[in-house]
A and B are shown apart, each in its own frame.
Chain A
Amino acid sequence: MIDAEHLTKYYGRRAAVRDVSFHVERGEIVGLLGPNGAGKTTTMRMLTGYLPMSSGKANVAGFDVADKPMEVRKRLGYLPETVPLYTDMTVRSYLSFTAKLRAVPPKARTRRIEEVMAMCRVTEVANRTIGKLSRGYRQRVGLAQAIVHNPDVIILDEPTVGLDPRQIIETRNVIRDLAGDHSMILSTHILSEVNTLCDRVIIINRGRVLVDDSLANLQRQSADSSRLQMLVRGPQAEVEMRLSSLPGALKVSVLEENAAEAEALTNPDGISRYNLEADQDLRELVAHTIIGQGWGLLELRNDAPTLEDIFVRLISSDVDEDEDVELSTPQMDYPDSGGRAIGRGRAFQAGDDEELEDLPDTGLEDADANEDGQVVSATELVDDEPIAPPVNANGKNAKGKKVKAAPAFLDEDE
């Protein structure tokens, strides 16, 4: 249904998307995943024909995007990142307008509009002006617009961005209901969305496809090491020693979680939470050892790597292998006079999403050095907002601050 071959897009000298190829089968839902500015929106826009590609070929719903754009558009439903709504229209008249443009036959139009309004759960606001609706409704009206002509291919650019948790769940339910007879690509940087919705995931970083695999495969591959977490009653130092002497154990650490446990630590026979990293599954051995020592094993569980872990690992390992001049040249001419703000873009994204519509395209995701000339790792850069204001809304983005932990975009804003 969707065939992308060597899609490439240059903005001036900068490549926003390079040599991206993938394939989506009929009925498949594919998640396009990547940090801000990775090229997700650009890729999708090229598939819809909205952006002409610099090179490469795309075939959507059986037609070449460049040669037969009208045929592609007839069979395509697209929800851009900025939901394209005419705020002065009512929901029904807006959907009627989009249905007309997509050549839904006049006889079927009224019924079809009622149908998609029910599917997208916007029937109750059918006669309200779009400008007066909440974001959740607007997003779903946008979704209704994308499916009103029952397209073969649906492309959704960040369908749940900026919604509250209940709205996210409702929107996801709608998307899930759509699965089956449509091929779908949806982009997101919320990982759990991929988990709940997609059959397959394509991770894009710095304009290239990093991974194209099923979720299960991805998780299996990354489970090469094991991480155990346990709650043990016993003398802390001794427990730690015992654990680290187990065959295959790589690292043992004690976690101090809450007041009760911290207090218990003062007691030599207290309860502590331990973290054990090993190159193999040591669950049985651990249980045996602890019980054999007469300590109390209160809890033992396997910390399988989450999608977040996998994602961060993949993105981080993608940093230095590419020495493309165009991409590694820092471009400092962005209007962030107060220094490069590193941190959460979403804080102000909620405030004004319109201006950020093109952010992924103008992104500075590939700079190698920050203002102080320090080399920063990809983990930091992935979350870098290129046109970030000097001081962010939540004040978290101190100048030159290094983000050591997992990038903030992995925080699910839900």
Chain B
Amino acid sequence: MKNTYYIAQRELYAYFASPIAYVIMGTFLLFSGLVFHLFLTNGAADANFTMRNWFGYQNFVTGLLVLLFGSVLTTRLIAEELRTGTLELLFTSPVRNWQVILGKFAATVVLYIVLLLLTFYYVLLLMLLGGQFDWGPILAGYLGLLLLGCTFFAVGMFASALSESQVIGAVIAIILSFVIYIAGPLLVQQQTGAVADAVNNISLLGHIDNLASGVIDLRDIVYYLSITAFFLFVATRLVAMRRAA
């Protein structure tokens, strides 16, 4: 566990030592603020509705921003170390592969939590404007975004382990994330029945509505965490395989 912590610590250091984190977070906040503004001006007057929409209830806008944020941020994680050879340092140190992967993942999650905290000013702003909040749904909504982010990070790390090129990694991450996020529901939009239900249940988007509307369902949480764990596991195996080649 200690090693995971050290890796995460270094990765956070790297995020903040370079402009990457600031630029990506700034961009995210800019667009997310625009989205918030749209929901605020066009939506119902109720503060709870505004936030619910922002969390992604029946829409995919904020989720898409998280997708881009996660993909861009995570594709660097393994690809760069493959390219510069620092992975050879990690893998000849008494550290296990999964500790490396998990440490990097954890650092990204920490960064993301900071980002989510920064968006909390929407809530404060609404309160300032006289909004009355039902706090349960707010927390559930943030939990939903957090879990959604984690899955995108895991997919991003998987893509990052595929190639030494960050550009290729980012493209793969974005396409793959997009497919599991949204493509299913888009394709079967007009249909009902077992197939459509299944597709909706498999895609990430189908699970955000509950959380965004304030319902914390264990199934949704398990779903997100399983996908996250799966991709992190595959990323770990991939890195081990690349070493053997």
A residues with a Cβ closer than 8 A to B are 11, 45, 48-52, 70, 73-74, 76, 78, 80, 82-89, 93, 97-98, 100-103, 145, 354, 357
Report which of A73, A93, A97 forms a contact with B94, defined as CB distance below 8 A: A73
- The A interface is mostly helix, strand or loop, or mixed, namely loop
- Known contacts: A52-B244, A80-B88. The answer to whether A88 contacts B94 by CB under 8 A is no
Asked if B3 is at the interface (CB within 8 A of a chain A CB), the reply is yes
Contact status B86-A84, CB under 8 Å: yes
CB distance from B244 to the nearest CB of A (A): 5
Q: Are A97 and B84 in contact (CB under 8 A)?
A: no
Contact call A51/B92, Cβ cutoff below 8 A: no
Q: Select B6's contact among A70, A88, A101, A357, beta carbons within 8 Å.
A: A101
Residue in contact with A88 in the complex, picked from B14, B83, B85, B95, CB distance below 8 Å: B14
**Interface on chain B toward A: helix, strand, loop, or mixed SS?**
helix
Instruction: Determine if B88 and A100 form an interchain contact, defined as CB atoms under 8 angstroms apart.
Output: no
Question: Does B93 have its Cβ within 8 Å of any Cβ on chain A?
Answer: yes
Q: In this complex, which of B3, B10, B13 has the most chain A Cβ atoms within 10 angstroms of its Cβ? A: B10
Within 8 A of A (CB), among B1-42: 2-3, 6, 9-10, 13-14, 17-18
- Residue B186 lies at the interface, judged by CB distance under 8 Å to chain A: no
Question: Considering the complex, which residues of chain B in the window 150-203 have a beta carbon less than 8 Å from any beta carbon of chain A?
Answer: none
B90 within 8 A of A: yes
Instruction: List the A residue with the shortest CB-CB distance to B93.
Output: A101
List chain B residues, Cβ under 8 A from A85.
84, 86
Of B9, B89, B96, chain A has the most CB atoms within 10 Å of the CB of B89
Which of B2, B90, B95 has the most chain A CB atoms inside 10 A of its CB? B95
Does the CB pair A84–B85 fall under 8 Å? yes
- Judge if B91 is at the interface, Cβ distance under 8 Å: yes
Chain A residues with CB under 8 Å of B245's CB are 11
Given A51-B243, A85-B86, A88-B17, the answer on whether A78 and B92 have CB atoms closer than 8 Å is: yes
Chain B residue with the shortest CB-CB distance to A353: B85
Q: How many A-B residue contacts, CB cutoff 8 Å?
A: 73
Closest Cβ of chain B to A327, distance in Å, is: 20
Instruction: Give per-residue flags for B55-97: 1 if the beta carbon is below 8 A from chain A beta carbons, else 0.
Output: 0000000000000000000000000000111111111111110
State whether A84 touches B243 (Cβ < 8 A): no
Which chain B residues (222-245) contact chain A, with CB distance < 8 Å? Answer: 243-245
B94 touches A101 (CB 8 A): yes
Q: Could you tell me the distance between the alpha carbons of A48 and B96 in the complex, rounded to whole angstroms?
A: 14
Question: Residue on A with the closest CB to B243?
Answer: A50
| Shortest Cβ gap from A357 to chain B (Å) | 6
26 of the cross-chain contacts (CB-CB < 8 Å) are A45-B88, A49-B92, A70-B94, A73-B93, A73-B94, A74-B94, A78-B92, A82-B84, A82-B88, A84-B85, A84-B86, A85-B84, A86-B10, A86-B86, A87-B84, A88-B13, A88-B14, A88-B18, A97-B6, A98-B93, A100-B2, A100-B6, A101-B6, A101-B90, A101-B93, A101-B95
If A49-B92, A86-B86 are given as contacts, then 12 extra A-B residue pairs at C-beta distance below 8 Å, sorted by A number, are: A11-B245, A50-B92, A51-B243, A51-B244, A73-B95, A78-B89, A84-B87, A89-B14, A97-B6, A98-B89, A98-B93, A102-B94
A162 to B165, CA, bound (A): 25
For residue A261, give the distance in angstroms from its CB to the closest CB of chain B. Answer: 51
The bracket for how many chain B residues form the interface is 20 to 34
Sorted from nearest, which 5 A-B pairs have the closest CB atoms? A84-B89, A82-B85, A73-B94, A84-B86, A101-B93
Q: Indicate if the CB atoms of B96 and A70 lie closer than 8 Å.
A: yes
- Who on chain A is nearest to B96 by CB? A70
Closest B residue, CB atoms, query A75: B94
Cβ–Cβ contact B92 & A76, under 8 A: yes
Kindly identify, within residues 81 to 121 of chain B, every residue whose CB is under 8 Å from any CB belonging to chain A: 83-96
Known: A82-B85, A88-B18, A101-B3. A50 touches B96 (CB 8 A): no
Q: Are A103 and B92 in contact (CB under 8 A)?
A: no
Considering the chains assembled together, what is the distance between the CA atoms of A52 and B245 in angstroms? 9
- Which chain A residues lie closer than 8 Å to B94 at the CB level? 70, 73-74, 101-103
Q: Which of A49, A84, A85, A103 has the most CB of B within 10 A?
A: A84
Whether B92 pairs with A73 at a CB distance below 8 angstroms is yes
Chain A neighbourhood of B87, CB < 8 A: 84
* CB-based contact A80/B6 at 8 Å: no
Query: What's the minimum C-beta distance from B72 to chain A, rounded to whole angstroms?
Result: 17
Within the complex, the shortest CB–CB distance from A360 to chain B, in Å, comes to: 14
Contact in complex: A86, B83 (CB < 8 Å) = no
Q: Which residues of B contact A98 (CB under 8 A)?
A: 89, 93
Cβ–Cβ < 8 Å partners of B14 in chain A: 86, 88-89
Are A80 and B89 also in contact (CB < 8 A) when A86-B10, A102-B94, A354-B84 are?
yes
Residues of chain B within 8 A (CB-CB) of A83 are 85
Nearest chain-A residue to B14 (Cβ)?
A88
Which residues of chain B come closer than 8 Å to A357, judged between CB atoms?
Answer: 85
Chain B residues with CB under 8 A of A11 = 245
Q: CB distance A354 to B83 under 8 Å?
A: yes
The residue of chain B having its C-beta at the shortest distance from the C-beta of A78 within the complex is B92
A354 and B13 in contact (CB under 8 A), knowing A70-B96, A102-B94? Answer: no
Q: Give the shortest distance, in Å, between B108 (CB) and chain A (any CB).
A: 16
Taking a contact as CB atoms under 8 Å apart, the answer to whether A50 and B90 are in contact is no
A60 to B87, CA, bound (A): 21
Select B85's contact among A48, A80, A103, beta carbons within 8 Å. Answer: A80
Which chain B residue has the least Cβ–Cβ distance from A73?
A: B94
